[in-house]
Amino acid sequence: MSEQFSKQVEEIALRGLALMRVPGVAVAVVKDGETILAEGYGLANIEAAENMTAEHVMPIGSSSKAFTATGAAMLVSEGKLALDTPVRAYMPRFSLSDPVAAQSATTRDLLCHRTGLPRHDLLWITWPDVERDELMFERLPHLGASAPFRSIWQYNNHMFGVAGRLIAELTGKSWETFTRERLFAPLGMRKSSFWQDAPDGEQKYATLYKEKDGAAAPCATECVPAVGPAGAIRSTVNDMARWLKFNLARGKFDNTELLSEAAFAELWTPNIPYKLFPFEVEQVRRIGYALGWFVDSYRGELRVDHGGNVSGSTTLVSMLPEKNIGVVVLTNADSNVLTYALVSAIQDILLGKPNETDWLNFYQDKYDEMKRKSDEDIAKLLGEKLPDKPATHALDEYAGIYANPGYGKIRVFADAGLNVDMHGNIFPLEHRHYDIFSVKIHDVPIPVSFKTAVDGSIEAISIQLELSLPEPIVYKRAAPAASEAAAPEKTTSEAAASEEP
């Protein structure tokens, strides 16, 4: 079967790379405890014509969440942590703006996205050097909730940061050190590391790409150590095959039990219904988000998976536990659905239903539709620009330092128009009408509004950084316009997360 299987996978992978304009993809497949395929297809570096291999390192993004959840489950197994005890009992500094959530949120709530907090992703994306403790303990308590505690599933990266910080609180080791010692080392994941680690000369790193003007352009991925437990791991499919074997053996590797069966079982027990994509897949019935894993029924088979998506890399780790099948797909392209298409196609081959569905075209069509809808929504964000309605104040009157207790300090300054400096990221502000501007962050134009005080001065800037909240994020002016030149923020050269807490 092996050679025929390899050919089938190769054929689909190559077709997928072309259709979805992805430079390269690496795949590993584990069945009944054996790696039956570990291959790269396409290019790891377009400019150098370097072939993708099973040894190329790529960020796995949010597929890291299962490592964080597994780390927590290991502490459950050791009796150091109970999933249903409030986080505050272990880490009294933990807080959230909703007092009910603050006192009651448990590790289970953090790991299944039901605290009521929406993403607030632009906070960490625009603040790469925020220290983990500052983000977790000083900023998170000020972020607005968009749903009652435990009422719905809302994907949230920050809460995995909290879970990682909790692991540090209980073990005295940073999440990174804990993960390295307790998972990477025993599983022999020697090529796995974290986004802030310096490149290792021994390893091959795939170049990451993002589409720019219709062509693939090299890009850097995020590196925000503060939220590392939500997505910091980079790895190879060979290493990830070991992770699959460990999971398919329900927490054992090389016959060594790394955590108890009961603690492991929690990782795959659904906690809350979820909806990840705006479309439905006929062969899939969603079951629930467990802990760092999605659980669904695929063609009637139990499936456990989690994808990852960071700048320049899209990944998927997927298992059919009752068939003892695991698949990992890592790509070096920003935002694509080759991962889902390829994983489904490979699972179909192993379920004896090859070519039953054209997954490549199915997912690409859905993706195109999703992208079109999202572009439409983005276009609607700003609304109509009124003609001939200039700004009410001179540009330098808007300049100054503004602060929000959750999102931190930003600096507005005039230099060929207005600009905003968010933690070292400079974004131009485009004027719309009166005191309304817009700022483009990650290609999304976001409305910005300045507020005039009774005395006529500008007293606040509001930016719609979290669209699921009814109100924008309001930054109040922290210093008069004269201090425009002041430094925006202390910058931390060393990220806190790379040190022991």
- Contacting residues toward other proteins, per CB under 8 A: 84, 100, 104, 106, 108-109, 114, 148-151, 269-273, 283, 285-288, 295-297, 299-300, 302, 322
Closest to other proteins by CB, 151 or 425: 151
The closest alpha carbon to 132, from 220, 180, 54, 194, belongs to 194
Least distance CB 112 / other proteins (angstroms): 10
Nearer to other proteins, 86 or 229 (CB): 86
d(CA 216, CA 23): 8
- Residue pair 39/20 in contact (Cβ under 8 Å)? The answer is no
Q: Which is nearer to other proteins, 109 or 348 (CB)?
A: 109
Run of H or E residues at 474: strand 473-477
Q: Kindly state the tokens that stand for 42.
A: 């396409």
User: What does the alpha-carbon distance between residue 482 and residue 233 come to, in Å, rounded to a whole number?
Assistant: 43
Distance in Å, CB of 297 to other proteins, minimum: 4
190/286 with CB nearer other proteins = 286
| Shortest reach from residue 291's CB to other proteins, in Å | 12
Backbone angles phi, psi at 280, to 5 degrees: -105, 150
Task: Output 101 or 473, the one with its CB closest to other proteins.
Answer: 101
Residue 101 CB, nearest distance to other proteins (Å)? 10
Nearer to other proteins, 300 or 387 (CB): 300
At 468, the amino acid letter reads S
Structure tokens at 370: 């999703």
Q: Which is nearer to other proteins, 273 or 417 (CB)?
A: 273
* Residue closer to other proteins (CB basis): 107 or 238: 107
Q: Which residue has the tokens 């880490």?
A: 91
Query: Which residues lie below 8 Å from residue 136, measured CB to CB, with a gap of 6+?
Result: 93, 94, 158, 161, 162, 165, 226
Q: What's the closest the beta carbon of residue 266 comes to other proteins, in angstroms?
A: 12
Q: How far is CA 178 from the centre of its chain?
A: 20
Q: Which of 178, 125, 70 is nearest to 497 (CA)?
A: 178
Q: What secondary structure letter does DSSP report for 150? A: T
The encoded tokens of residue 89 equal 């009992």
Angle between helices 65-77 and 157-171 (to 10 degrees): 40
CB of 262 to other proteins, least distance (A): 15
Taking the complex as a whole, the smallest distance from the CB of residue 299 to other proteins amounts, in Å, to: 6
Total residues found in the chain within this entry: 501
Nearer to other proteins, 147 or 444 (CB): 147
Smallest gap from Cβ 405 to other proteins, in A, equals 25
Cα–Cα distance, 235 to 247 (Å, whole number): 16
CB of 84 to other proteins, least distance (A): 7
Sheet of 325-331: strands edge to edge? 50-51, 34-45, 24-31, 325-331, 313-320, 301-310, 294-298, 284-289
